[in-house]
């Protein structure tokens, strides 16, 4: 069964550093998402992406965040200057159909900012 994959599984970085989280969505999917989950809290939507542009973003997704699909398979989330409060699990998701509630999530990247 096709899966969404994410790398790395765990990233430790110092405050102020840039990080790039990588995702490989399911190959025939066209819509891509990033969510985050701070330890013990809800899963929160960050951004959705389609046809090489952002479709929707949340208030969390400020100027420090950016997303990119650099090639035909990868989907990345960049945080330019990490803050302590960016520590969380970051999940990538993908879907084949616009607006569907059936999204396929990756295993997540645990980001720890020290």
Partner 1 sequence: LAKTTQPISMDSYEGQEVNITCSHNNIATNDYITWYQQFPSQGPRFIIQGYKTKVTNEVASLFIPADRKSSTLSLPRVSLSDTAVYYCLVGEDGGATNKLIFGTGTLLAVQP
Q: Which of 55, 66, 74, 76 binds partner 1 (CB under 8 A)?
A: 55
Give the rounded distance of the alpha carbon of 46 from its chain centre: 8
Torsion angle of C-alpha atoms 33, 37, 41, 43, degrees rounded to 10: 20
Nearest-angstrom CA–CA distance, 81 and 50: 25
According to CB under 8 A, which residues from 4 to 43 bind partner 1? Answer: 4, 31, 33, 35, 42-43
Nearer to partner 1, 47 or 113 (CB): 47
State whether the Cα torsion 58-60-64-65 is positive or negative.
negative
Nearer to partner 1, 19 or 36 (CB): 36
Nearest-angstrom CA–CA distance, 9 and 55: 26
CB of 51 to partner 1, least distance (A): 12
Nearest C-alpha neighbor of 64 from the set 77, 54, 47, 79: 79
Q: Which of 14, 51, 52, 100 binds partner 1 (CB under 8 A)?
A: 100
Q: Which of the stretches 14-22, 71-79, 80-88, 96-104 binds partner 1 when contact is defined by CB under 8 A?
A: 96-104
Sites of contact with partner 1 (CB under 8 A): 4, 31, 33, 35, 42-45, 48, 50, 55-56, 58, 89, 91, 93, 95, 97-108, 110
């Amino acid at each position: 069964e096709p899966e969404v994959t994410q790398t790395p599984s765990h990233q430790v970085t110092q405050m102020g550093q840039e990080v790039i989280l990588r995702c490989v969505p399911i190959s025939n999917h066209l819509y891509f998402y990033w969510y985050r989950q701070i330890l013990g809290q809800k899963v929160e939507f960050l951004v959705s992406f389609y046809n090489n542009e952002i479709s929707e973003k949340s208030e969390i997704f400020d100027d420090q965040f950016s997303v990119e699909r650099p090639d035909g398979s990868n989907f990345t989330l960049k945080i330019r200057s990490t803050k302590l409060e960016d520590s969380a699990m970051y999940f990538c998701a993908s879907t084949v159909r616009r607006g569907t509630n059936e999204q396929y999530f990756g295993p997540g990247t645990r980001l720890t900012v020290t």
